[in-house]
Structure 1
């Protein structure tokens, strides 16, 4: 299942960007984006990790999921509050993570 379909299947609207620059343009044009799901190996002038840091610096409230099939990314390389998911991933893992990250604070499960 594609990532965009997974987000829609989870009950949310989805936008798709083909590279980091397009993702930034979407974020600049819209105020309703609350989560970005990116791949470390995305095309463009910056990879998914650099994009995640750029988003965290410019739009701090936006939640971030970073995926990679090439390597395991240490949490210390990611912006604070982001979540790494290795590929191949299970569709239900993505849907559950989206729900956890977007759940109101009072309904989030206790760690």
Structure 2
């Protein structure tokens, strides 16, 4: 199964989604911010998809992280989320899921990328 990188600064949100994706059969790696996510992506070649919150502390938010992923790791798929309004622009071929979301909705979104 594919490996998913969850980038979420809220620990409980991150862990609940990790459990949902693990139960669905995915390998899951987590990061609390974009800097940690970049470090993971630089050392692992098995990341298939990045699921990232947009609003995060640190040197970059989720939109900047998504742009970085699109530029440096083009094959990696991206799903963005936020509890605020959907951003006007998201990277090409990325999906957006508004918060609050159900784990089943995220699993379904991740599965859409399996056919790509």
Using the size of structure 1 for normalisation, the TM-score is 0.86
Partner residue in 1 for 2:37 = 23
Shift of 1:10: 2.0
After TM superposition, the score normalised by the length of structure 2 is 0.82
Aligned ranges for residues 80-91 of structure 1 at < 5 Å?
A: 80-91=92-103
TM-superposed CA distance for 1:88, in Å, is 0.8
The worse-fitting range, judged by mean Cα deviation, of 87-96 and 53-62 is 87-96
Say which structure is richer in strand.
2
Which aligned runs of 4 or more in structure 1 are off by greater than 2 angstroms? none
Q: Helix, strand or coil: the match of 2:30?
A: coil
Corresponding residue number in structure 1 for 2:18: 4
2:107 — aligned with what? 95
Displacement of 1:3: 1.9
1:1-111 superposed matches below 5 A: 2-74=16-88, 77-101=89-113, 103-105=114-116
Q: What SS is found at the alignment partner of 1:25?
A: helix
Size of the aligned set, in residue pairs, is 102
RMSD: 1.3
